[in-house]
Amino acid sequence: MRIKILINFFVLVFIGSLNSLYPYAYLPDDVPLNKALLIVSHNAAMAKKYGWIYYQQLGKMEDQWKAGSRGAKVPIMWAQKRFPIKKSPRIALCHEPNPRNNCNLTQLQRGGVPARDAESFFKEFAQLLEKNKQDVAVLILEDYLDDTSKKSGTSKYTNEEINKRLDEIIEKSGLKKYALKLPPECYPRGNKPTKDWPTVGTMRKTGKRLIIFTYNANRAKNLPYLNYSKAIFTKTKWEINILDEIKSNRCLLEKYIPGANAFVVEHKDINSIPKGAKAKILNIVKKIVPKAREIFETDYHVVNSKKMIRKRVEQCEKVCNYPPSLITMDMVEIGNGYAAVKEINAKRFGKLK
- Mean pLDDT value of segment 191-215: 97
Q: What is the mean pLDDT of residues 74-78?
A: 99
How high is the pLDDT of residue 290? Answer: 58
Q: Average per-residue pLDDT in the chain?
A: 90
CA angle 180, 130, 166 (to 5 degrees): 50
Asked if pLDDT for residue 271 goes beyond 80, the answer is no
High-pLDDT (> 90) share of the chain, %: 75
Does the pLDDT at position 21 exceed 60? no
CA distance 208 to 188: 22
Q: Which residues touch 229 (CB under 8 Å, ≥6 apart)? A: 140, 213, 214, 215
What domains, with CATH codes, occur in the chain?
25-349 (3.20.20)
**160-182, pLDDT tens digit by residue?**
999 999 999 999 999 999 999 99
Per-residue pLDDT band for 16 (boundaries 50, 70, 90) equals very low
Tell how strand 69-79 and strand 137-143 pair up.
parallel
Contact yes or no for 166/145 (Cβ under 8 A): yes
pLDDT of residue 289: 61
Task: Round to whole Å and give the CA distance between 136 and 73.
Answer: 15
Residue 192: per-residue pLDDT: 87
Position with higher pLDDT, 6 vs 239: 239
pLDDT score of 245: 93
Residue 270 confidence (pLDDT): 81
> C-alpha angle with apex 62: 56 to 302, nearest 5 degrees?
40
pLDDT at 158 over 50: yes
- Average pLDDT value for residue range 96-112: 92
Residue 3, pLDDT score: 57
Cβ-count burial of 66 within 10 angstroms (0-12 exposed, 13-18 middle, 19+ buried)?
middle
The per-residue pLDDT for range 283-333, each reduced to its tens digit, is 766 666 655 456 678 899 999 999 999 999 999 999 988 999 999 999 999
Q: What is the pLDDT of residue 197?
A: 98
How distant, in Å, are the alpha carbons of 73, 110, 133, 264, 285 from that of 50?
A: 15, 9, 25, 26, 18
- Going by their DSSP bridges, the two strands 90-93 and 116-117 should be labelled as antiparallel
For 132, half-sphere exposure in the C-beta direction (CA atoms, 13 angstrom radius) is: 26
Mean pLDDT of 56-65: 97
